[in-house]
Chains A and B, each alone.
Chain A
Amino acid sequence: MSQAVKRPKQKNPMLRTRQPTLPPAARSRVALGLTAAAARGRLELQVCLDCAVVQYPPREICRACLSHRLAWRPQSGRGELISETTLRNAQELFFRERLPWRVGNVRLDAGVNVMAFLHEKVAAAPCRVHVEAALDRAGQAVLLAVPEQGRPLLSDDPQLRETTCDPRARKILVTDGKSAIGQAVTRALAAAGADLIWIGEAEPWKKAAGSEALHELPQAVPIALDVTDGRSVRELAGEIGGKVDILVNTNNCHRAFSIAARRGVETAQLEMDVNYFGLLRLAQEFAPVLKARAADGTASAIAWVNVLSIFALANYPPHGTYSASQAAALSLSHALRAELGATGVRVINLFPGPIDDEWDQLEMPPKLSPASLASAVVEALKGSVEDVYPGDVAQDWLARHLDNPKALERELREEGR
């Protein structure tokens, strides 16, 4: 039965909160190739480089010619649903608590059979479907089948909703709601149906253009939050932590200095104190309470979003210390992903290229507008991804990094881009 996400009824405080459970997380190493592609929202399967036969389930050796040269390649996912069933019984608690599950056998046009969850809008077998890869609550890749024509919302299907982090009807903390990015993210989340958005504001004596107008949004609740002050973070977590469903870390101290262009470490310390230690303080105070509410009804704690930078992937020497602070934040976000993942709360990282703001003023276009970045945040929450590279520059750097990271390092050194 199609159930668009609705505002949940007020929780009965006398009832015990449901504890988080996870789908089976065990996967062989080679199967994690599916997870790597799903993390970026892609369906990839192994293809034999010698005989072109597509392989599934994932394996080490080609099932046709015994070659070991298998490579992951994007797939269209089109195929025929040849059989289906509805599970009324499940052996694992996660599935048991969310029965029933509709599952089917799809023969992909690529020539393999896959088991997949079926969206409720998929007709009875036999019919044409489109298979995609998504991340389940254990953070592992699973295959979903949706109708070939007209992709329905994943979150409309009560079971498949578990692969998304839809902000609809949820309460969200935007840690820096004063910056241009923070304001754009707040507006985008409000438009996506968020119930309430706490917008964090530090240094109250510094006004930001647009803040007053943002306060007019009915969902907006300005709150004091300075991520460089542990007490500020702790007190806010004590006050609202038990209600936050999604935390969007928009805090970003961006200075544009290479190593030689700035004597003393004061500026770099500020970058680290916001970008790295700020994340650590937030993580220490908010992660435990988010974890505890990971299965708390339909508006459960579900996601943690970090707005990082593509410079986290490869140091951009003209913004050398900033890049290093982003790299530190990226590494820490992986530790956070491991901790939150224990109860199914997803960490989503965005790696935009230069933003159209004052600190990237000297960067040549293309530059990403705060509104575009905000859109990417909302799309990531509504979809089933954990690593997002929004915009042309981010996609370009990612491709160059995956192709040859040492070459990218040299290119950034030589040309500055």
Chain B
Amino acid sequence: MTARGYDDIVLAAPVTIPYVRYSIRSAHWFLGRALAELIAATKIPKARIDGLAVASFTLAPDTAVGLTQHLGLTLRWLDHVPMGGASGIVSIRRAARAVQNGDAEIVACIGGDTNHTDSFRRNTATFSQFAQDAVYPYGSGGPNTSFALLTAYYMRTHGATRADFGKLCVAQRDNALKNPLALFKKPLTLDEYLNARLVADPLRLFDCVMPCAGAEGFLVMRRETAAKLYLPFARLLGAIERHNAFADDPIQDRGGWDLDRDALYAQAGVGPSDIDFLETYDDYPVINVLQFEGLGFCGRGGGAEFIRANTFEVGGSFPFNTSGGQLSVGQAGAAGGHLGIVEAVRQLTGQTLGARLPDPRHGLVSGFGMINYDRGICSGAAVLAAS
């Protein structure tokens, strides 16, 4: 049975709570500010928001339930999405079906986290049972360890070089320089990227995101609801998710998108060549490459060649992570997977903060996350279109 389409479900009100490196506030502050901004930007009364999907790593001991009472909401539909960088895409899928079926009218999707000086260590030390038992005791390198292993394997197996990855990082930084909210303000040269200090071979400083505090959010509703509220919107054409794909691969060099991209494009009614820009989940450069391959922009193992054949700035042949991506903007915890969605909606509705694409029609956003042990378990993607 083919999955039902998304009819006239739309995304509106792209909101970012500016990132800061460290904050003394709790996640509730950032998530609450995001909701407040959504209301301020749309003039929708708080009581009319009847659905909420939340993603956060630092809300404990609360979940979306605690946040609901904290923010004084009364909801018909509530979801807590613990899928890391895939939470944004998964939130879209959940919220879309709720709205389609009449279980909610306007769903706020928010991702956000605080960051105290010891947050990252605490979060990685208790990330999952498998990580606690079988990863963290091996050097406590956090996700750097797992992605270094993945990067080394990919490079050796498919002939990618650090210069290939560096090209992506330099382009993302270029995009970020125009984004007033990006935490990184200085240009990055390929030389600086190649010679930065080693973190976990072969990863160096600029291969790793900077954890920070912040939040991202948007609303999911029917097209007619958005029209009545005079809200600019982007249309949802298709969305997929997959969890624990290819569990028997000895090491992760392909993600769940491989299994579902055909269904995605079929649902959306477009193909890779129709996509005007791509927002990937970029916690490490190698994951961008897995998304290029998985989403059909090149063949398996063809990432290096694809990178060498394209340019990735906003004005390039393949616009990619147009606000700078997490590697240059920062990673506000679970908001990392919402960042690309919010930027895509901004591009498609002409509400960009930084560099703007000339009249984009279709954007693809991809999510990935949850290195539960040795591979990212969750993946997802969505095709959005301009109204």
> Which residue numbers of A lie inside 8 Å of B, CB to CB?
23-24, 26-28, 31, 56-58, 82-92, 94-95, 101, 103-105, 107, 113-117, 125-126, 136, 138, 140, 142
Contact = CB atoms under 8 A, between A and B. Distances in A.
A158 to B, nearest CB: 14
Contacts of B152: 83-85, 125
Given A89-B200, A116-B138, A82 B251 contact: yes
Given A85-B201, A86-B200, A27 B132 contact: yes
A23 to B, nearest CB: 6
Interface in B165-207: 197-203
Interface in B57-94: none
B130 A57 contact: yes
Contacts of A138: 137
A82 B141 CA distance: 19
Contacts of B56: none
B304 interface: no
Contacts of A91: 120-121, 124-125, 140-142
B215 to A, nearest CB: 24
A23 B373 CA distance: 18
Nearest to B149: A83
Given A85-B152, A85-B202, 19 more contacts: A24-B136, A24-B140, A26-B125, A83-B149, A83-B152, A83-B153, A85-B148, A87-B144, A87-B145, A87-B148, A88-B199, A88-B200, A88-B201, A91-B121, A91-B142, A101-B141, A105-B250, A117-B139, A140-B137
B245 interface: no
B374 interface: yes
B78 to A, nearest CB: 29
A26 B199 CA distance: 25
B266 to A, nearest CB: 32
B251 A23 contact: no
Contacts of A85: 141, 145, 148-149, 152, 200-203
Contacts of A57: 129-130, 133-134, 373
A27 B201 contact: no
Given A88-B199, A91-B121, A83 B251 contact: yes
B139 A103 contact: yes
B135 interface: yes
B228 interface: no
27 contacts: A24-B137, A26-B132, A26-B136, A28-B133, A57-B129, A82-B153, A83-B149, A83-B150, A83-B251, A85-B148, A86-B198, A88-B200, A91-B125, A92-B121, A92-B125, A92-B140, A103-B138, A103-B141, A103-B145, A104-B149, A105-B149, A105-B153, A115-B138, A117-B138, A125-B153, A125-B156, A136-B137
B194 to A, nearest CB: 16
B251 A113 contact: yes
* Chain B interface mostly: mixed
Nearest to A85: B148
Contacts of A84: 149, 152
Given A28-B129, A116-B138, A88 B251 contact: no
Contacts of B121: 91-92
Contact of B132 (A28, A88, A126): A28
The 6 closest A-B pairs by CB, nearest first: A85-B148, A57-B134, A31-B133, A92-B140, A101-B139, A83-B153
Contacts of B153: 82-83, 105, 125
B246 to A, nearest CB: 12
Nearest to B131: A57
Interface in B198-232: 198-203
Most buried by A among B130, B149, B198, B203: B149
Interface string B100-135: 000000000000000000001100111001101111
Given A104-B149, A105-B149, A113 B374 contact: yes
A87 B134 contact: no
Interface core residue of B138, B152, B156, B202 (most chain A CB under 10 Å): B138
Contacts of B132: 24, 26-28, 31
B133 A107 contact: no
A45 to B, nearest CB: 11
Contacts of B197: 88
A82 B154 CA distance: 11
A333 B156 CA distance: 50
A115 B197 CA distance: 24
A86 B201 contact: yes
Nearest to A96: B140
B156 A89 contact: no
Contact of A114 (B134, B139, B148, B200): B134
Nearest to B152: A83
Contacts of B199: 88-89
A388 B96 CA distance: 61
B345 to A, nearest CB: 35
Given A26-B125, A115-B138, A89 B144 contact: yes
A23 B140 contact: yes
A32 B130 CA distance: 13
B118 to A, nearest CB: 9
A290 to B, nearest CB: 24
A95 B134 CA distance: 16
Contacts of B133: 27-28, 31, 57-58
A82 B250 CA distance: 8
B323 to A, nearest CB: 27
Contact of A90 (B130, B140, B203): B140
A90 B141 contact: yes
